[in-house]
Structure 1
Amino acid sequence: MGKSNDLRIVKTKQLLKESLLSLLGEIEFEEITIKKLTERAQINRSTFYAHFYDKFDLLEKTINDELVSFVEEVAPKSEEELSLTEIPNPFYLRATQYIYQHEAFFKLMMGENGIPSFQQRFLKIIEQHMTEHLKRFHPNPKKMEIPKELFIYYVAHGYVGVVSYWLENGMQYSPEYMAEKLSYMTIEGPFSAAGLK
């Protein structure tokens, strides 16, 4: 009985998350109501409130679940991988493949009518990954020619900006192509990538 109930809860939560994303493809978040969510999910209001406090709680948990999944999927798989300078970098390749496979979610979050707080959350995830990467691979910040924070900010914002462009323009390039170019710009620098050096 317990397992059956657990599966029902998981399914109900998933239905509500899917309903939220479906509605976000049609209207802005401010226009979404509990009534619209429950009608789309075909459940009653009491069932909604048994799992989520309000629509903001549902949005928060939907975003959190996706970002946790993203981190688990793309995180470095070994110590050796942290120091790789090959192109494409395995991290970038897994990240672009993940975003490509979850295109609908990322387009909704980062598109024209997206959720403004999502991009900041996404940036924080990338920044945290890079901070951990540098701690393990480059433990002596004094050897860096620029402050660590500037380096992390530059790479993270460049990465998220390019991904945002990719999504906005219909993902016209393959995940492999994007991973290769992002890796090249990060490892060799933008001037080299532009043929100016």
Structure 2
Amino acid sequence: MEKSNDLRITKTKRLLKEALLALLTKMDFEAITIKKLTMHAQINRSTFYAHFYDKYDLLEKTMNEELIAFVEEVAPKSEEELVLADIPNPFYLRATQYIYQHGEFFKVMMGENGIPSFQQQFLKIIEEYMLNHLEKYHPSPNRMEIPKELFIHYVANGYVGVISYWLENDMQYSSEYMAEKLSQMTIKGPFSVAGLK
């Protein structure tokens, strides 16, 4: 009986999260109501409130679950992976593969009616990866030509910007292609890969 209840709870939560994503493709989050969510998920209001406090709770838990799964999947598996010498970089490859596999979620969260707080949290994950790389492998981090914070923000925002473009254009390139090009731009620099000296 417990297993049956657990499966029912899991199904209900999944239906509500799918309803949230579906509605976000059509309207801003502020326009979404509990009534719209429950109608789309085909459940009653009392069932919604048995699992979530309000729509903000649903949104936060949906984002957190996806970001936790993303981090667990793409986090460097060894210290060697933090070295940016390999093209494509293994971190970038796992990241683009994960985003490709969960494309609908990322398109919604980073799209026209997307959630700015999700984008900020996603950006922070990339910044932390870059910071770990610098702290472990830069020979003299205190002697950089620019403050490391500027470097980290430049690379991380560039990465997220390219991923946003990829999503907006229906991921027309493969995840492997994206990982390779992102790695080249990060390692060699944008002007170098563009053929500008």
Quick one: distance in 2 between partners of 1:140 and 1:61?
40
* Alignment of structure 1 residues 103-122 onto 2, 5 Å: 103-122=103-122
* Alignment of structure 1 residues 130-169 onto 2, 5 Å: 130-138=130-138, 141-169=141-169
3-state SS in 1 of match to 2:195: coil
Q: Which whole-Å deviations, capped at 9, do the CAs of 1:107-149 have from their partners, x for residues lacking one?
A: 1111122222221121111112222333333385214332221
In structure 2, the residue matched to 1:21 is 21
In structure 2, the residue matched to 1:95 is 95
Please tell me the residue identity of whatever aligns with 1:192: S
Q: Which whole-Å deviations, capped at 9, do the CAs of 1:27-62 have from their partners, x for residues lacking one?
A: 222221111111111211111111111111111111
In structure 1, the residue matched to 2:72 is 72
In structure 1, the residue matched to 2:44 is 44
In structure 2, the residue matched to 1:128 is 128
Please tell me the residue identity of whatever aligns with 1:96: T
Give the gaps of 5 or more residues in structure 1.
none
In structure 2, the residue matched to 1:60 is 60
Quick one: distance in 2 between partners of 1:44 and 1:139?
59
Q: How does the TM-score come out when normalised to structure 1?
A: 0.93
Please tell me the residue identity of whatever aligns with 2:75: A
Question: Shift of the alpha carbon at 1:169?
Answer: 1.7
Quick one: distance in 1 between partners of 2:183 and 2:128?
18
Quick one: distance in 1 between partners of 2:50 and 2:133?
40
Question: Shift of the alpha carbon at 1:102?
Answer: 1.1
CA contact (8 A) 2:84 2:187 kept: no
Question: Shift of the alpha carbon at 1:64?
Answer: 0.9
Q: CA RMSD in A?
A: 1.6
Question: Shift of the alpha carbon at 1:178?
Answer: 1.0
Deviates more, 1:141-150 or 1:62-71: 141-150
Q: What number of residue pairs does the alignment pair up?
A: 197
3-state SS in 2 of match to 1:187: helix
Q: How does the TM-score come out when normalised to structure 2?
A: 0.93
CA contact (8 A) 1:28 1:113 kept: yes
Give the gaps of 5 or more residues in structure 2.
none
Q: Which whole-Å deviations, capped at 9, do the CAs of 1:90-109 have from their partners, x for residues lacking one?
A: 11111111111111111111
Deviates more, 1:152-161 or 1:34-43: 34-43
CA contact (8 A) 1:96 1:179 kept: yes
3-state SS in 1 of match to 2:172: coil
- Residues 135 and 9 of structure 1, relative CA distance in 2, 3 Å threshold: farther
Quick one: distance in 2 between partners of 1:117 and 1:3?
35
Question: Shift of the alpha carbon at 1:3?
Answer: 3.2
